[in-house]
Structures are given as structure tokens and as C-alpha cells.
Amino acid sequence: MDREQWKREVWQPSVQRHAERRDRFATTSDIELEPVYGNGDGMPGVVPYTRGVQPTMYRGRFWTMRQYSGFGSARQTNTRFRFLREQGQTGLSVAFDLPTQMGYESDHDLARPEVGKVGVPINSLLDMERLFDSIPLDQVSTSMTINATAPILLALYVAAAERQGVAATALRGTIQNDILKEYAARGTYRFDVPGSMRLITDVFAWASEHVPSWNTISISGYHIREAGSTAAQELAFTLANGLAYVKAAVAKGLDPNRFGRRLSFFFNSHNDFFEEVAKFRAARRMWASMLRERYGVTDDKALMLRFHTQTAGSTLTSQQPSNNIVRVTMQALAAVLGGTQSLHTNSMDEALGLPTESSVTTALRTQQIIAHESGVADVIDPLGGAPFIEELTDRLEAAARDLMTKIDELGGAEKAIQAGFYQEEIHRSAMRWQRAVESGDATVVGVNQFTTDEDPMEVFRVDESMQRETIDDLEECRRVRDESEVTAALDAVEAAARSTDNTMPAILRAIERLATVGQICDRLERVFGRYRPSRAF
């Protein structure tokens, strides 16, 4: 399809259905801009989506601007959410603390040192209501970075919305729900592999009927890259994990043409600017091709690789933290030029602690300046057609496909992770980079070159009293609920897990009766067992 045919058959009909941001796009010198430049098979909004998943891309609307937030207590995080919305954030992104991620009540002995430290603690429906107090859930899109306990947190969100009078069918957002990368790179797992995969596919099936606009998984390369992988490894391992989820869902009798529409991805945007742009383009093309080749998917929307991007936390430095503003800006620009649907920009002080309101505002303003002042959103895939970008896209795809062939030879993603293949590849790449920094072969400005003495900047600290507040709220939950109803609901969760029934209805009923995340996880663990790595790395 050449450019003129694309404009007639794809772009113009899309503009008629959904008006663009402006009637006319032009440079400051009044040079009128075409929606896209160059010809080729990969035109925007056309399978395999190399040049973007929507015909109008950012000429229609900007990417969703999110800032990942969560700390202290549900009330304190709610205050930050409301502040960010006032600053122009267009989507919420929830960080949960480690006990919530791993399914422990906040007063558990293992949980107490971590309550509220790296995210918000959520024990019960009452906490979820506090988290979204005065935030109408039919008017926001919410992303939740949660994996082992993802079905429970989705049920909490649905129940909180219903208490607001918002139907589940009106909800928009994403749960990460990607356990395979936890086993390989991040470590916040709870249940054994088969049980975790069962819960994930239960969410696919249940949400497609009850929460149809919800993205039921965000298949994540972000944490793989943060652990030290290369861009090619991030591509290969993420897409291989995605194929494993598709395989599990198909084996359960689900139609990939249907559930494929609600799959989403989450990538890292790192420092090598052009490689990152090429990585995003290659990811879209590879996913569409693989779903057609392996599963015969024919629905165009199910072939779309839609993704959220976060700038690379591992590149931030505690030395000269103001330099991180520049790093984040470059990484954010690469994500936009690569066609992301959603973006989080890290704050300059995140190598030191949780971001202050001032630094998180600067991070959000970075996105807004790129969107409104740079002009890069006025042309679709503006780097597409450049010989360097096109060849880099091809070569990244080839390198990723070679790795995926090795994963297939090992029996797929689950077996490759259990064999330690992912972990060994990531660790080797991380070690190569660390040695390059230590030897000076790789320059990190302000760390191994161009160093200066400077005064430390203000560091945000979580108020320790918030832990007591959270535990007091948990004790209140226990006082006000009917324990006999809770026990009966938990028995039903365990029974559903032991059967072939979908576990989500029983989990939702338990949530409505004020069962805690920890209690539900304890019952599921009785059935599914606890994951223990077979090898140490």
C-alpha cells in the first residue's frame, strides 16, 4: 500500500470518524505537514503496524500521560493522585508496596519492614475506596503494576467502582498480571507456575465478559531490561512470554481473536536513542506476524501490539541527579517517536528515594513539553523510512528471533525460565555493562567522567506514622466485617481453585465481604503451592 492509497483508504476515513487535534499541521515557518512520509507496506494503522497502531496516531490524540505513584498509605497516595490530576496527568498508575504485591497482610511479620515503602499498601476493599476517594473511576484510566495478586487487585478495583455507582463495563485500565517476568527478573512471585498461569487465564476469560474495556495483562519487558538485558533480549523474552500466555489461554478454549484485543505490553525506554525507536517498531511487526503465523489470528485489533513505556530507572544516577532530567527527556522522546500509547517519565531524584512533588511535576512537564511544544507529534512515525532506522529495526528483529528460536528449542518461555536461560542471558549482559562502566569503556556522565562535588538534594522520606495508620485501618476492617461470611467466602475461593471453575467470581465475593488480600492468597497457596526457584543466580 503506497502513501496515496493509504491516505484515501485508511487515513481519511479515520479522520472522518475521529477528528484530528487540529485542522492543519504546520511548522513554525508555516510549512504544511503531511500525516506521514514515505511509502511501504508498514503504513500507520495497517497490519503489521510497524509505523503505528492507529491511522492518525498523535495527530488524533496524545499518548496517555501517567506518573507511577504509591507510597505511605492509601490516603497519602490519594492526595498525590489528586495533585497529579490537577497538574494535567491523564491516567493513573498505581505502585503497590511489596507486601501487597506478594499477598501479605500489613501486620504480618514478613511485611512490617516494607509497609508503604515502595508503593501503597492495600489490604481490603476499604483501603481501595480510600485510594480512589473523590476520583470518579468512570472518568480515569488506571494502570496497576501488580502480578502475583493481580486477580485480587482487579476484583478490589471493580468492587470499589461498584460502591461509587460505576459499572464494571465502564472501567478502563490495565493490570500487569505478568508472572513469567517475575520468575525471570523481578522476584515478586507467590504461587507456583501452573497456578499462576491458571489465575492469569481466569482473568482473561472473566474480564472479557465483565470488564470488556480492561487490558487484562501488560506483558512486561521493562523489568527484564532493568535487570540488565539488552534491547534485543528485552524484545525476545517479552514476546516469548506473550506467546506463552496466548498458548495457555488457547489451551483453555479462549479465542485469540477475542482476548487478543485486550493484551497490552510494557517496555523500557533506555539511553540508546535510535535503538529504542527501532525496538518499538520491531516489536509491533513481530507480534502481529507471530500471532498470524502461530495462532492464525485474523482480527486486526487482536494483532495490535499496544504498549505503555516507562523511562529507564536503572540509568538514573544519585550523582548529579539534575542530569537525570536530560536522560529522561531523551528516553521519553524515543518512546514517542517509537509510537507508545502511554508513557511514564521518571523523576530526577528516584535514584535517591521516592520523588518529591516538585520533581514529579518536572517529569510530567517533560511529557507535556514534548507533546505541545516540540512538534514531534504532528507527523506519524517521523523517523520511518530513514535507512538507519529501517535497517536497525530489521537487525533487532533478527537478533530477537534468534533468541526466540532458542526459547522454542527449550520448550517455550516457562521451561526456558525454569532452566535458567533467561536469567543467565540477562546476567551476562548486565555483567558486561557493569565491567564497561568500571573500566571506563562506557561513559556515565557524573559517575565515571565529568564528576563534581555537589550539595545533596532534598530527598523525600515516607512518614513512618503511615505504617501505623495502615495497620489501624486493617484492624478496623476486621472489627466491622462478619467473620462467618468472610470464612464462607474464603472457603468458596479455595473450592473454586481446586475445581475447574473460574476463580474470579469467588474472589470478587470474598472482596465484597472484606476478606483481605493476604487471606485470599493464603487460601490460593493451599491449592497452588508456593513458587521456589530451582536454581540460584
Q: What is the pLDDT of residue 380?
A: 97
Q: Using the CB atoms, write b or e for 124-159: b if 16+ within 10 Å.
A: bbbbbbbbbeebebeebbbbbbbbbbbbbbbbbbbb
Question: pLDDT tens for residues 173-221?
Answer: 999 999 999 999 999 999 999 999 999 999 999 999 999 999 999 999 9
Mean pLDDT of the chain: 95
**Closest by CA position to 208, among listed 165, 164, 166, 252:** 252
In the chain, % of residues over pLDDT 90: 91
User: Which residue, among 522, 434, 455, has the nearest Cα to 104 in the 3D structure?
Assistant: 522
Q: What sign has the CA pseudo-torsion 525, 528, 529, 534? A: negative
| Dist CA 385 CA 148 (whole Å) | 41
How high is the pLDDT of residue 501?
Answer: 97
Q: Is the pLDDT of residue 91 over 90?
A: no
Amino acid 281: pLDDT: 98
**446-469 pLDDT, tens digit each:** 999 999 987 777 777 777 788 899
**What would the mean pLDDT of 155-170 be, rounded to a whole number?**
98
Which one, of 383, 260, 300, 340, lies nearest residue 47 by Cα? 300
d(C-alpha 152, C-alpha 99), whole Å:
13
What residue ranges define each of the domains in the chain, with the CATH number in brackets?
63-379+406-439 (3.20.20.240)
Q: Is the pLDDT of residue 382 over 80?
A: yes
Give CA–CA dist 288/308, Å, rounded: 17
**Averaged pLDDT, 249-278:** 96
Amino acid of residue 270: H
pLDDT at residue number 536? 54
DSSP 8-state secondary structure symbol assigned to residue 458 = P
Confidence band for 475, pLDDT divided at 50, 70 and 90: very high
Least confident window among 40-49, 138-147, 374-383: 40-49
| Strand pairing category for 217-220 and 141-145 | unpaired
Q: What pLDDT digit, counting tens, does each position of 307-340 carry?
A: 999 999 999 999 999 999 999 999 999 999 999 9
Q: What percent of the chain has pLDDT over 70?
A: 99
Look at residue 295 and tell me whether its pLDDT is greater than 80: yes
